[in-house]
Amino acid sequence: MLLTCNMAFPVTAQDLVKTYNVINPNTEAWQGAPVEIGGIDGYRSALVTIDGKEVPCQMDDLDGDGGADHLFFLTDIKGKDRQTVKVSLWRKGDPRSYKERTFADIILPNSKIKEKNKQNVYLKEFTVMGGSDPFRSIHQHGVVFESELTAFRIYCSPRQTVDLYGKYKRQLELKESEFYPDKEQLAQGFGDDVLLVGDGVGLGALNGWNGNEPVAFTDCESRSQRIVTTGPLRSIVEIVDKNWRPTADAEPFTVTSRYTIIAGHRDCKVDVQVSVPKGFTLTNDIKKTPYYIGITNVRGSKSWTNAKGLLASWGSDYPAKGDTTTQTKQTVGLAVCIPAANLEKRADTKYDYGYVVKIPQGHLTYAISFCSDKEENGYHNEDAWKKATSEWERDLQKRSLIILKK
């Protein structure tokens, strides 16, 4: 169930009020810093004020039980600063209305509608049996999600490639364009597909590794895509590969990947969880399973790394294979940042630059980001993207807001 702050707010007295201190331990100011508070089960509405001023918030059902369990909001906070946050909660009533700054959807094609950007059979989630490939059956080929800056789609094929949609303007577009803008929308300044992923992993998709090349999630009981939440401040989508066997004689286990995009951010956080059914444990063989995370080797691109988990590139190519007449070359900067402790070795393939990684504790969090040269307010050359990714990597290391309850 999806709960977001997007309707009228109750006028009755609140049922619970909590006060927190939000502290920025870093010396630099942080614009749009994400703050998350758990344990709000049993409430339907929320109001957040920071130093007495209302800020947009979002209530999310992250465990899928039908009720909100987390409260999410953004704050602009100075370096070494402390803010007083007041959270008012109601058990009844409807949430407040805030401007939409993120979006996600899954769509089935409607045979009665010809236009590619007007399909209207919307899904919350879908599951296919392991041997099935619904790539041609799902409109947009999988779940899509966006902030004002960037947009992504995750192919529902076993490779689960992450494809990209670049924008000229900082605005939401996928609800209207459905990843396929028409001529009128393009004339209005809409963006479109900017990456030829081919047979690679795209931008930072997780795959297995057989010692020579990435391994897709083919041998599994089922594969699912789900919109965990979508709202004004963040969207979270989930990919589940249930009872996957990386090799024919391997023990089955489940890999769950959650992609989170936040309003005002161009990057996306990826949380990976490796699990087994109740009654089983993560064996040493499962813990030693190698994985692959990479970025597409765009034709003629140059890549660079700091050898500590940041891997980035800059290059240009046509986004559709073989189409050099109706499409123009797109220049993109790609980047992935993986914790150094999870790196095994650098491994470039025919299609990707990448790393072999390990997940010995059953959990991995990494980040992906990109820019398109078409952006009006973006990065337009390799040097600018190098500087931006270096700053991004350092920023990821210090993104630690401390929430202290009074």
pLDDT tens profile 247-266: 999 999 999 999 999 999 99
Extract the runs of DSSP E, i.e. beta strands, from 150-282: 151-155, 162-166, 192-193, 203-209, 214-215, 222-230, 234-244, 253-262, 268-275
Residue count of the chain, please give it: 406
The rounded distance, in Å, linking the Cα atoms of 41 and 31 is: 28
DSSP assignment string, 117-131: T---EEESEEEEETT
The answer to whether residue 2 scores a pLDDT higher than 50 is: no
Q: What confidence score (pLDDT) does residue 325 get?
A: 66
End-to-end CA gap in the chain: 31
**Quick one: average pLDDT of 127-146?**
94
The answer to whether residue 52 scores a pLDDT higher than 50 is: yes
Q: What confidence score (pLDDT) does residue 130 get?
A: 85
Model confidence pLDDT, tens digit, residues 214-236: 999 999 999 999 999 999 999 99
Exposure string of 319-351, with b = 16+ CB inside 10 Å and e = fewer, is: beeeeeeeeeebbbbbbbbbeeebbeeebebeb
Reported as a pLDDT band with limits 50, 70 and 90, residue 11 is very low
**Quick one: average pLDDT of 380-398?**
94
Model confidence pLDDT, tens digit, residues 185-205: 999 999 999 999 989 999 999
Q: What confidence score (pLDDT) does residue 243 get?
A: 97
User: What's at 61, amino acid-wise?
Assistant: D
Task: Give residues with Cβ within 8 angstroms of 132, minimum separation 6.
Answer: none
Residue 395 host element (H or E): helix 382-398
**Quick one: average pLDDT of 117-126?**
97
Q: What confidence score (pLDDT) does residue 398 get?
A: 76
**Quick one: average pLDDT of 133-140?**
94
The answer to whether residue 307 scores a pLDDT higher than 70 is: yes
Reported as a pLDDT band with limits 50, 70 and 90, residue 131 is confident
The rounded distance, in Å, linking the Cα atoms of 2 and 18 is: 23
Reported as a pLDDT band with limits 50, 70 and 90, residue 323 is low
Say which residue, 371 or 97, is predicted with more confidence.
371
Reported as a pLDDT band with limits 50, 70 and 90, residue 400 is low
The answer to whether residue 177 scores a pLDDT higher than 80 is: yes
The answer to whether residue 379 scores a pLDDT higher than 90 is: yes
The answer to whether residue 326 scores a pLDDT higher than 80 is: no
Give residue 191's Cα distance to chain centre. Answer: 19
Residue linked to tokens 């041997």: 131
Q: What confidence score (pLDDT) does residue 322 get?
A: 67
The rounded distance, in Å, linking the Cα atoms of 33 and 16 is: 25
Separation in Å, CA 396 to CA 106, 114, 205, 214, 387:
29, 43, 19, 26, 14
Reported as a pLDDT band with limits 50, 70 and 90, residue 302 is very high
Q: What confidence score (pLDDT) does residue 7 get?
A: 34
Answer yes or no: are the C-beta atoms of 230 and 102 closer than 8 Å.
Answer: yes
The rounded distance, in Å, linking the Cα atoms of 246 and 260 is: 26
Q: What confidence score (pLDDT) does residue 327 get?
A: 78
Q: What confidence score (pLDDT) does residue 6 get?
A: 34
